[in-house]
Structure formats: structure tokens, C-alpha cells
Structure 1
């Protein structure tokens, strides 16, 4: 993550009220003298509207003339109502006014913290050239901050409109900013921005057009200032802080483009009963959905993370159609519902589509912008990554583009680099069909790895069919599907968090690894007769494992211990913790930490740390090797299939050739006899 701290400066609505009147005045009327207006800018871009030797832009050359324009008057015209505005136009105007209030407030904070306020008070007095230069530079920076914060909020808030498909079909003639922004002072900068925005509104005739032009215009302002930010002086007071608007997830982090709030999306709700099989996946996601609730918004830390029991980054691996995406939706549903019941702020931030960009450097920027949006310390966040092999493609692969490599490098630095930060408020679960295609360092950072086989038993498939049949009957309001269910099995009784086999298995029972290579290594270790309660057992096994599989490293050992600790703290939260915020989440950090520790010790019920460590070690190693080996087995299978196809093709060709030769021989006989 960024080197900036996780603490933020709050922006309260009470503070914004002090700027309400001034912000309203900008909406009411502005007077500005542009060096180049919108008409001139359009003419410069359209050669057909120029005459030889001059362009319409010449009309504004020399001393520009001030012109007045009223946004509210244009809004009434577009609404076709002198009294009331349409709902969309009214909403957009309120958003713009709030944005201006935010910009003016943050600009005022900058003036006070940077010393600009003091320098302005000294104006007229004898001051040094250095003070005058500093005052001018700070005034420009304050203007940029004011306009940037205002435009960022407007862009962010307008992205929440859900008529995106309607907006796509609205024709607007947007050519960008007509002229460079006037950054000599905050008021002049805001006047410049509102004037040119209003100039665009003159050509708008519908409320959807009003919204679309407003979105495009203020996004262009943000983009322009992001580029200019490097040239601004005395900006550290602003860029080294984070500003958070209370009761929202709007955050300003220096001159960084605000992630679109549309990343907070609606999602398909999936419940435990909807997922057939995949018990290990359901158990882990169920556990994580409760652990993240321990995050303390005051301390900005999760005691589960402090205990080393919060594996926040992991992967689900399985063939296509086995239920990985359902697992992601299941996690989203659980965390969303828990947060809603407890009054905790929640955000869902799936990775953006087409994260790998063709423009050099853009991929890393988009990825890091998404990453920062997930680590907003004021929210509990689920950040799923589906088809992760397409995002984190092995850099050694010929298919790996420059953009893909940059995404991988950003991920490695942000997840576990020297500047990485983690407060325990984020769950980032990846899903993949091909774990072996993922860049090895990325894969090594997965703290948990879960195989997702899907339905496996007769009972699983019966449950799956009945779920589908019952759903169809419900939709049609009839008994369209009326098949008999097996009398020796109760519907969905195998679909809990543990399978029947797991429930019946004894804790200490270990029959061996499924993988032959792993089993051979284990048998070599067993021959040494090492105590199961000794470090020697694990040290010997891990050393032999690393010798056989170089991908297995010290990080994997850390992941094993994290999973072990997670199991030790993996108790089901008491129902009152999940329904009454005063019982747990409203407690202070130290109280929550003590409550968790007490519950974890009670949860053990005779299960020893050694037993848990052994179970988690075998599960982790088995899953890891199976995932890494899946690609090799797939390629071997494909080569075998290709070989069989070639043999079948050769046999078919031989038969057809023999038949053809036989036919030619018979024809020759007929000719001879004739």
C-alpha cells in the first residue's frame, strides 16, 4: 500500500455547512473572462468552421471580456419548469454544490496548515520576495486542491447513478477542457470550472444529458489536475494526509483519482444450502466472515490479525463449474448480512474488468487504485478476484504482456512488500481454474489454498438436482418436476460445513496422502520414528518436501502456522455477537481481544495444538501440491489425448485407403473382363 498512514482527517457535514452559502452562489451565477471559450475550442478542432488565416478563437484574443452565466437558470430550462427541477437535475446540482463545499473546506485546511493563511494576512506589509513567491505558489496549490477535491467528489458521487445503460445512448459533444484551468486562486479556479461546465450545459436538452456532461466534465478536471500535481509546490501538507467524508466511503488521498463508487456493486446472494459439496471451502469462508467482524474501527486493527489467526488472502482452485464463483458470492452474502445486522460499514470491491491495459503503466495504476480503495480503514471490505490466472499470469509465460507483469509486481509489493500495510479489514479471495498458471511469488502469498471439487457423491448429485427442480417448481407455481427422492437420505443433510465422512473421522486418524509422491516422502519420515509432538517431525518432513518440490518454501511454513492459528481461533461466534452490536463489535479493542481469547480457549474442547498443526499441515501440503501439479497432469492428459487422436486418425486413414485401393482393384478387373 501507499506509504501514507491509515489514519484520516474527517470531513464532517457540520464543517461543510459553513461553506453552503458560497457554494450556492457558484450555482446561482458566475462571471468569468475566458481566454478561450467552448465555441472557440470547438472551432479550433473543426477545420470546416475556420476561414483562411483566422479561426473563431481569435474573437477572445487580447483582453478577454467577462461574461455571466447561471447554472440554475440552465437547469430550469433543461427541466422545462420555472419552479421545480427534475429529480435527476436536482440531484446532480446538490452533488455539485456539496463537492464545492468539500473543495472549499479542504482548501481552507491547506491554507491554515501550510502557512498560506498567515502569508495572506501579511499582504500589504513589507515582505520578502521569497515570501511573495511562496504565497503565489501556495495560492496556486490551494486552488488546485480546492478544485480537485470538489471534482473528485462530484465524479465519485455521480458514478452511483444506476442508469449507466441509458447514459451510454445519450449523445453529447464533449471535447475536454476548453482552456487550461485558472489556478491563481481558489475562487477564480472554481469560477473558471463552473463557467466552462455551464458552457457545456447550454447544449444539453435532457436531464440524462445534464448528468452525462457533468460526469464527463468533472472527470476531465480530475484527470487534468492529476497530471499537473507534480508541478505544484508546497503540496506536502495535502498529499501526506488522507481526508474522509463522514458516513461515506469518499476518501481523498493526495492528487489520486478517486476510485469509482460504482465498484460497490450488487451481487448474487448465495447461502450455505445452495452449495453442494465443497465442505472445506464453506468452512473456511464461514470462519473468515466472522473473523473480519472483529476489526476495530477506532484502533484500525483486527485482534484476529494480531493473534496471527486471520488468513485474509487465499485461493479457491477447481475445474470450471465446480462452485468457485458461488463460494465468492457466499462469502459476500455472509459478510454483507453480518455488517448490516451489526450496523458496520461494508463495501464490496471486486477487481475491475480488463485490469490489464494496453497503455504502458496504466495496468499498474488501475490495479493500485483498486487496491487502495479496498483498504479504506473506515470499511469492512470483501475484494474478490475471479479467474485470477488471467490477472496474475506467470511472468515467465510467453503470453504474459508488459501490463500483466506490472500488475504482478504491484501485487507483490502491496501484499507483502516493505510498504505493505494490513489492518485486518479486508478479505481478498481469489478463484482459479489453473493455479499453475499463476505467477509463483503470487501463489506463494496465498495464506490458504482450497480445492473446490464440486459435487462428488450420489447424495451430492441428488441434492443438486432437487435444488434445481424445486427452484423451477417455485418459479412456475406448479409441480413440473416431481421425481422421487432416495428414501435412505434426507435432503441436504450432507450439505453442511462438514461432510458425513469428516464428521465420522477421528481427530487423530491419518490414513496417508492421496498424492503418491507426498506419501512416499511421508513414509520415509515415518521410518525415523520421530515424536508427533516434536519440531523434528515437521522440520524433517518440510526439508524432504522442499528437496522434492522446490516451490515449497519458508513462506509455506508460515502459511501452515497461520492456518493452524486460524483453526485454534475458528470458533463460531455466539449468536448474540452476530445480532447485538453492544455484545461484541461495540466493545473497545482490548475487551474484544480478551473476549476472543477466552472463547478460543473454551472452543478447543480437548483438541491439542499438535493435533491441529498436524491436520492443517497435511491439508495445506496436499492442496498446494495438487494445485501446482494440476497443470502438469492436464498437459500430460492433453498430450495423451492428442496421441490417441492421431492414432485413431491414422487407423481411419488406413482403412479408407485400403477400401479405396480395393475399389480400384475391382474396377480394374471389370475393365479387363469387358
Structure 2
């Protein structure tokens, strides 16, 4: 990545463009060249006797004072005003102010680009009639480059500034078509003409108005960025970086700025005591939620990520009904409460089968949008991929659709690609009832394994029955200490100790063979020999598996839970400096032991052997069905010949 020296886009320069920006919002005429006018929705009727609000008088030279809307006229202020009954609502006023601000930023960026690229001098020469013929081609290319830079800056600033006003409303606007690159003023007019069309057709209230503006800005950014890939003379813009201090907006070429906004979560959160069984998975989820809160927004790094004990990706697998959804609800609820208490933006999103699209490339775009939202370093993020065996396809599997293959490629590049940077502000959880159907390479990118096996003991079943029955009954509890079995520390210690020996039959054989030859695994050499023996039994047990195991061991070395008081009183930890957080965490760390290493090897290898056994069994059953069909087809064929 090219290093950028961030400059300031001066506030005086932006405010100097307010007059021109207001003129564009107030009105201009535009004849569309690439797009066709849409059928506008009928304007809302005003109450009897209520006139239009007083008109603004444009101060742009040559602009008539609020002319009536004519064919080809673009009057965004009038368009938005028509959504109300006489007076602009706060949401409509905010949208108009935001559009004016975005246009002013874009125009100021255009002047900056012109000055740095040499375009400003060529413009003066052209106006004075002394532009050399030999430089006309360069002049045209720079005008096009300025148009692309201004368009992208406008869309980028609009998406950034409108983000805090977004609700749960979404709209589909399709592709932006009126992208003109002759010069910057014409480019903005074309974009505003199309935005005006979309508002007319799709915006019926304030929520949809905001959604339309946001969707249009995102679509315009994509279209302009694609056009810029082959356009010349953009180095002055694409290689630079500017900060708009008043808004916190960073303009870094054709890369979208993301506002620190948390999405509104509509989910039935669960408390930890409502998760019965699943002791290790619950314990690790509790710790991971607090680990995420240690993220330092100024340093943009988490001390846990630097120390090597952070879970960036994890796989939760188990049979249907064992509690995967409840686990998600618990972790999302904890993070939501912690972030609200600290005033941090929090984003939760789930990627599901609904986002697999039949259009080529659309599924990949959906997956990329999902991961970029969660990775945003200005917020705490939690992304889940439910039923990942259905969402992401196995490479080489003819039954996987092109969309599923696109999603697999995006997730593999995100979770452990050449450009992956783990800051420690987010985590991704992949959940499946059939993890053996997930692509091997994608599954191995899950740094931690959460076996979601649900209630196991007699006490677990009593606890879950009592929990689900609720309080609207008079059935006595009997001899049972309710929820005592769910005491997390005690239950987790027992669960970890259970992995001192492997569970899966194939791994048990490897364990016994190595033990007979080497005795207790009490040195790194013996443990390494055990790992090699596992690899010889299952060739999919590669170096990535070793990394995942060592990461899990480092997590165990931080086998402590950040005190609840640190989350409830942010000044005690969350609002401390990065170095102070690091020191506080170091004081709680415990040394790595042989037992930790062996237990984590067995936990990970057990899961891989379990996946392999299930996958092989499914393959055998499929082959048996194929053979049976062939035999039946052969029998019917011979009967038809006789």
C-alpha cells in the first residue's frame, strides 16, 4: 500500500463553494444524455389554504430566482420540499444541508486537483485563447480526471455524511447511468439530475429520502471507481489524501470513507445464564466480547491482537437445535450493551443465503460489502455467516452455484489473504450444522472452534426446561440447584480437562500410537511428533492448522476475563491509553503450559477428524445412491429390450 501524507482540505475553501453548491441544489436545467427520465410519483397534496414555503433567492450570477420547474429542470430543493406539507421537516432540512455540504466539498476538491495537476493553468490558457494545440489532448484528459475526482468526492462525502441518519429502511435504485465526464460542472449536474429522478420515484417519506440518497451515493461511487480504473492523469487525486476536519471525513482517492455509525439492531438478545450447556463456546464468546472492547480507536489496534490472543474468525458447529442462534444473540447483546455504555459505535450483520444472487458478480459484491462494513476501523463489529455450508460453495463442487463460489473467494481473501490486517475491532463467526460441507481451505481459516453441542448433563436438561417454561406455572423445582451447573468457571475447567485425551476414533488411534512410542507429551519435540503423526493420518492437517492451534493456546494464556467493572465504568479501562491497556492486560496473563497445548491440539484435531469422517460418510452414501440408480436404470433398460 502506498503511504499517504494527509493534507487538510481547508474549511475556508469549502465554505467558499457554498454559493455555487446552493445554486446546484436550488435549480438548473439539464438535458439527459445517457439515462432516460423516469416516471415520477405524484407530488403530495398540500392542505387547503397552505401555500408553498417562501422561496430562497439564488445568488449565483445568471441564475433566475427560483424559476418554476420546467421540462429538463432539476430542482432538488423543490423535490424534497414536496414531501412535506408546507414546512421542511428536520430530516428534509438535514438532507438538503448535507447535499450542499457534499457539493461544496466536491467543488473544493476539484479546485485542489486542478491546482496540483496543472489543470488550472491550462484552463486559464484556454480561456485566453492561448492553449497550444499540442496540449489539447492533455487538457481533455485532465478535465475528465477532474470530473471523476469531483464526482467520487461528492458521492463519498454524501454517503459519509448521510450515514448517521440512516435507519432500517432500504431501497434498490439500480445502476447509475448519467455519469458525464466532459468537465466537473456537467458531471455534477448529471449526477444531481439522476438523484432528482430517484427521489421523485422512490422517496415517499423522510426515511426513504435518506435511504435513496445513501443508496444513490454508494452506487455512484462504484460506477465512478470502475470508470477511474482505466482513466489517465488521476495520480494527483488517487495518490493523495485529504482530511475535512469539521466532518472527520478522510478523502483518500477512490476509497470510500466510512462513518462511525452503528446499525440499529433488531434482535432478541440473550443473557449468559440463558445459554445452557455449550460451556467452552459460551466462555470464549464472553471473553471475546470483552476483548473487542479493548480496541483503541486512536491507535486503531487492539492490545490482544498485538499480543497474539485475539480471535478474528471462529467456527461454531453443532447439530440443529443445540444453541447456535442463542449463542449469537448472547454475544451480540453483550457487545451492544458494552458499546452503548462506552459510547462506541457497534455494527452487527448476518450474511445469509438470501444474499446469493443469480446475477454474475452480485453475490461477491454483497459479500464484499458485508465484510467492509464489519472491518470498518471506526466501529466495533460482529459479523456472522449462518449456515455457511449453504452460503459458501466448495471449490470444484459442480453443485455449487457461481454466486456461492464468489462468496467463498471473498471470505477466503478476507479471513486470511495477503492483504488481511487484524486490528482487533471486529470478529467473524461462521456457523453450520454441517461443517464438513464447507470448503476445507475456508474452514481452516477459522482460527477458533466452538463446538455447540447444547445441553449434555441431567442438570443441563433441568435448567433448560425450567428456563423455557418461564414463571407462569406452579410446578415445584424439586431437588436441584437451578443454574448451578452453568457456573462458567467450574464448567469450563471440566470441559477443557475433557480434551486431555482425544475423542474421535481416528485421532484416538494416533494418540495411542504416539504415546506408546514416546510416552507422555511433555516436550516440544514430542508434541511436534504428535502433530506430524496427525498430519500423516489426515493430509488436510497443514501448517495453517498449527497456526490456529498456537493462536488458541495464546488465547488460553490469557485465560482471564476482563472484570465487569471495566465495562461498566469505561474510565477504568476502556478510555485509558493504548499503552495503559497493554500493561493492564499483561498483568493478568498466565504462562503457557503443556496441558494447554495438548488440550488445544486435541480440540482442533478432534473437530477436523469429525468433519472428515462426516464428509467421507456423506460421500459414500451419495456414491451408494448413484450406484443404486445405475443398477435400476440398467434393469429397466434390459427389460425394455426384451
- 1:151 matched to 2:143? The reply is no
Q: What does 1:242-641 correspond to in 2, within 5 Å?
A: 254-255=253-254, 265-351=265-351, 354-470=354-470, 473=471, 479=472, 481-487=473-479, 489-498=480-489, 500=491, 502-503=492-493, 512-530=501-519, 532-601=521-590, 609-632=593-616
What is the deviation of 1:96?
2.8
What is the deviation of 1:304?
1.6
Q: In the alignment, which residue of structure 1 is the partner of 2:50?
A: none
- 1:194 matched to 2:192? The reply is yes
Aligned partners of 2:339, 2:539: CA distance in 1, in Å? 42
Specify the SS of the correspondent of 2:386: coil
Aligned partners of 1:212, 1:338: CA distance in 2, in Å? 28
Aligned residues: 593
Q: TM-score when scaled to structure 2?
A: 0.79
Aligned partners of 2:347, 2:365: CA distance in 1, in Å? 21
Aligned partners of 1:369, 1:73: CA distance in 2, in Å? 33
Aligned partners of 1:615, 1:205: CA distance in 2, in Å? 57
- 1:100 matched to 2:103? The reply is yes
Q: In the alignment, which residue of structure 1 is the partner of 2:66?
A: none
The farther-off stretch of 117-126 and 535-544 is 117-126
Deviations for 1:397-446, whole angstroms, at most 9, x for unmatched residues?
23112222232223223322323322222201110111110001111111
What is the deviation of 1:560?
1.0
Distance 1:244-1:333 versus aligned 2 partners, 3 A rule: farther
Aligned partners of 1:217, 1:304: CA distance in 2, in Å? 38
Deviations for 1:30-86, whole angstroms, at most 9, x for unmatched residues?
2x3526598x7569xxxxxxxxxxxxxxxxxxxxx99755333344444241xx124
**Aligned partners of 1:546 and 1:552 also within 8 Å:** yes
Distance 1:69-1:385 versus aligned 2 partners, 3 A rule: closer
Q: What does 1:64-143 correspond to in 2, within 5 Å?
A: 69-81=74-86, 84-117=87-120, 120=123, 124=128, 129=133, 132-143=136-147
Distance 1:427-1:110 versus aligned 2 partners, 3 A rule: farther
**Aligned partners of 2:167 and 2:263 also within 8 Å:** no
Unaligned runs of 5+ in 2: 40-69, 628-642
**Aligned partners of 1:86 and 1:207 also within 8 Å:** no
Q: In the alignment, which residue of structure 2 is the partner of 1:476?
A: none
Distance 1:137-1:367 versus aligned 2 partners, 3 A rule: same
Distance 1:210-1:356 versus aligned 2 partners, 3 A rule: closer
Aligned partners of 1:122, 1:584: CA distance in 2, in Å? 60
What is the deviation of 1:482?
2.2
Match of 1:34 among 27, 31, 36: 31
What is the deviation of 1:340?
2.4
Q: In the alignment, which residue of structure 2 is the partner of 1:47?
A: none
Specify the SS of the correspondent of 2:23: helix
Aligned partners of 1:198, 1:337: CA distance in 2, in Å? 40
Aligned partners of 1:388, 1:181: CA distance in 2, in Å? 38
Question: Which is higher, the Rg of structure 1 or of structure 2?
Answer: 1
The farther-off stretch of 288-297 and 221-230 is 221-230
Q: In the alignment, which residue of structure 1 is the partner of 2:67?
A: none
Unaligned runs of 5+ in 1: 44-64, 169-173, 474-478, 644-674
**Aligned partners of 2:499 and 2:602 also within 8 Å:** no
Q: TM-score when scaled to structure 1?
A: 0.76
Aligned partners of 1:12, 1:273: CA distance in 2, in Å? 53
Aligned partners of 1:10, 1:292: CA distance in 2, in Å? 31
**Aligned partners of 1:78 and 1:204 also within 8 Å:** no
Aligned partners of 1:567, 1:453: CA distance in 2, in Å? 21
Specify the SS of the correspondent of 2:152: helix
Distance 1:395-1:206 versus aligned 2 partners, 3 A rule: closer
Distance 1:110-1:335 versus aligned 2 partners, 3 A rule: farther
Q: What does 1:8-27 correspond to in 2, within 5 Å?
A: 19-27=17-25
Cα RMSD of the aligned pairs, angstroms, is 4.1
The farther-off stretch of 399-408 and 278-287 is 399-408
